[in-house]
Structure 1
Amino acid sequence: MGFVEDARIFARAVEKGSFSAAGRDLRMSAAVVSSRILALEQKLGCRLFNRTTRKIQLTSVGRSFFERIVDVLDAVERAEASVALEGGAPRGSLKVTAPLGLGRRLVGPVVTTFRAAQPNIDIRLRLAEHLLDLIGEGIDLALRMADLSDSSFIVRKVATIERILCASPAYIEAHGAPKTPDDLFDHQCLLLRFPGSRQFRLTLRQGREARTLAVSGAIDCDDGDVLTQWALAGSGIVMKPVFEVAEQLTRGTLVQVMPDATPEPTTLAIIYPSRQLPPPGHRAFSDLLLEAGRSHVATELGKLGKRLEN
Structure 2
Amino acid sequence: MDKFSDMTLFVSIVKNQGLAAAGRELGLSPATVTARLQALEDRYSVKLLNRSTRHISLTDAGAMYHQACLEIIDSVQETENLLQTGTKEVRGSLKISAPRDIGKQFISPLISEFADQYPDVVPYLYLNDNLSNLAESGLDIVIRYGELADSNLISRKLASSRRVLCASPDYLARKGTPITPQDLAHHDCLTMVRSNEELKTWHFQDSEQHNVITVVPKRCSDDGEVIRQWALDGAGIALKSILDVQEDIKQQRLVTLLNGYMKNFNASTSATGADLNVIYMSRQYQPKRIRLFVDYLIERFQQL
Common topology (TM > 0.5): yes
Residue aligning to 2:233: 233
Deviations 1:211-239 (A, max 9, x none): 22221222111222222221122211111
Say which is worse superposed, 138-147 or 72-81, in terms of deviation: 72-81
8 Å CA contact 1:165–1:262 kept in 2: the answer is: no
- Asked if 1:60 is matched to 2:42, the reply is yes
Q: What residue number does 1:32 align with?
A: 27
- Other-structure match for 2:72: 76
The match for 2:174 is 174
- Correspondence 1:48 to 2:36: yes
Q: Is the aligned partner of 1:278 residue 2:286?
A: yes
C-alpha separation in 1, matches of 2:217 and 2:260: 22
The farther-off stretch of 212-221 and 280-289 is 212-221
- Closer/same/farther in 2, CA of residues 74 and 253 from structure 1, 3 Å limit: closer
User: What CA deviation, in whole Å up to 9, does each residue of 1:128-166 have, x standing for no partner?
Assistant: 011122112111111111222654310111122022111
Q: For 1:102-113, what aligned pairs fall within 5 Å after superposition?
A: 102-113=102-113
Corresponding position of 2:134: 134
Q: What percent identity do the matched residue pairs reach?
A: 27
Q: Residue in 2 aligned with 1:218?
A: 218
Shift of residue 58, structure 1, vs aligned partner? 7.0
Match of 2:275 among 248, 267, 271: 267
Change in CA separation of 1:151 and 1:196 when aligned onto 2, cut-off 3 Å: farther
1:287 equivalent in structure 2: 295
The 8 Å contact of residues 10 and 66 in structure 2, kept in 1 or not, is answered as yes
CA distance in 2, matches of 1:273, 1:94: 13
Unaligned 5+ segments in structure 2 are 49-60, 265-272
Asked whether the 8 Å contact 1:4–1:73 carries over to 2, the reply is no
Where structure 1 has 5 or more consecutive residues not aligned to the other structure, the ranges are 24-28, 42-46, 51-56, 297-310
* Paired residues of 2:205 and 2:262 also in contact (CA < 8 A): yes
Between 165-174 and 268-277, report the one with greater CA deviation.
165-174
The answer to whether the Cα contact below 8 Å between 1:19 and 1:33 also exists between their aligned partners in 2 is no
Q: CA offset at residue 14 of structure 1?
A: 5.0
Residue 256 of structure 1 aligns to which amino acid in structure 2?
A: T
Q: Quote the offset at 1:208 in angstroms.
A: 4.6
Sort the Cα spacing of 1:58 and 1:78 in 2 relative to 1 into closer, same or farther, 3 A: closer
- 2:99–2:143 CA contact under 8 A, matched in 1: yes
Q: CA offsets per residue over residues 238-272 of structure 1, 9 Å max, x none?
A: 11222322222233222122222231450100000
Per-residue CA deviation, residues 184-205 of structure 1 (Å, 9 max, x unaligned), is 1111111111316573221111
Aligned to 1:139, what secondary structure does the other structure show?
A: coil
Letter in 2 for 1:244: D
Answer with 1 or 2: which has the greater Rg: 1
- Taking structure 2 as the reference length, the TM-score comes to 0.77
Contact 1:9 1:22 in 2 (8 A): no
Distance across 2 between alignment mates of 1:240 and 1:75? 37
Q: TM-score, normalised by structure 1?
A: 0.76
Q: Secondary structure at the match of 1:263?
A: strand
How far apart, in 2, do the equivalents of 1:108 and 1:179 lie? 37
Does structure 2 conserve the Cα–Cα contact (< 8 Å) formed by 1:158 and 1:294? yes
CA RMSD after TM alignment:
3.4
- Bigger shift: residues 270-279 or 97-106: 97-106
Q: 1:211 to 1:60 in 2, by over 3 A?
A: same
Any conservation in 2 of the 1:190–1:220 contact (CA below 8 Å)? yes
